[in-house]
A and B are shown apart, each in its own frame.
Chain A
Amino acid sequence: MNAIVAIIRRDLLLAMRRKSEVLTALFFFIIVVSLFPLGIGPEPALLRKIAPGVLWVAALLATMLGLARLFAPDHADGTLEQMVLSPTPLGLLITGKIVAHWITTGLPLVLLAPVLGIQFDLEASALWVLVVALLLGTPLLSLIGAIGAALTLGVRGGGVLLSLLVLPLYVPALIFGAGAVEAHISGVGAGGHLSLLAALLALAVFFAPWATTAALRIALE
Chain B
Amino acid sequence: MLTATDLSCVRGERRLFSGLDLAVGPGEWLHVQGENGAGKTSLLRILASLSPPEEGAIQWQGESIRELGEDFRRDLLFLGHHGAVKEDLTPLENLTLAAQLDGTTLDEATALKALARFGLRGREDLAVRFLSAGQKRRVLLARLAVRKAVLWILDEPFTALDVKAVDMLSGLIEEHLATGGMAILTSHQSMPLPNGRVLKI
Contact = CB atoms under 8 A, between A and B. Distances in A.
Given A2-B105, A81-B78, A87-B74, 5 more contacts: A3-B100, A82-B101, A85-B76, A220-B51, A221-B51
Contacts of B78: 81-82, 85
Given A17-B89, A17-B127, A221-B50, A86 B81 contact: no
B86 A14 contact: yes
The secondary structure that dominates the B interface is loop
A89 to B, nearest CB: 7
Interface string A3-44: 100110110011001100000000000000000000000000
11 contacts: A3-B103, A17-B88, A76-B82, A77-B82, A77-B84, A78-B80, A78-B83, A82-B78, A83-B101, A86-B103, A221-B52
A220 B85 CA distance: 18
A84 interface: yes
Given A13-B89, A79-B86, A220-B50, A87 B80 contact: no
A6 B89 contact: no
Interface in A186-221: 220-221
A10 B70 CA distance: 22
Contact of A7 (B48, B84, B101): B101
Contacts of B170: none
B73 A78 contact: no
A81 B84 contact: yes
A125 interface: no
Nearest to A17: B88
How big is chain A's contact interface, by range?
A: 20 to 34
A76 B89 CA distance: 16
Contact of A88 (B48, B76, B101): B101
B172 interface: no
Interface residues of B, number: 29
A72 B145 CA distance: 28
A82 B81 CA distance: 12
B98 interface: yes
Interface string B38-60: 00000000001111100000000
B20 to A, nearest CB: 19
Nearest to B85: A77
B49 A85 contact: yes
A93 interface: yes
B93 interface: yes
A87 B83 contact: no
B70 A89 contact: yes
B139 to A, nearest CB: 12
Contacts of A85: 48-50, 73, 76, 78
A197 B49 CA distance: 39
B84 A87 contact: no
Interface string A65-103: 000000000001111011111111100010000000000
The interface centre, meaning the residue of B84, B85, B127 with most chain A CB atoms within 10 A of its CB, is B84
A188 B135 CA distance: 64
A79 B84 contact: yes
B84 A2 contact: no
Nearest to A18: B88
B50 A88 contact: no
A13 B70 CA distance: 27
A82 B89 contact: no
Interface string B61-92: 00000000010011010101111111111000
Contact of A77 (B87, B100, B103): B87
Nearest to A76: B82
B50 A84 contact: yes
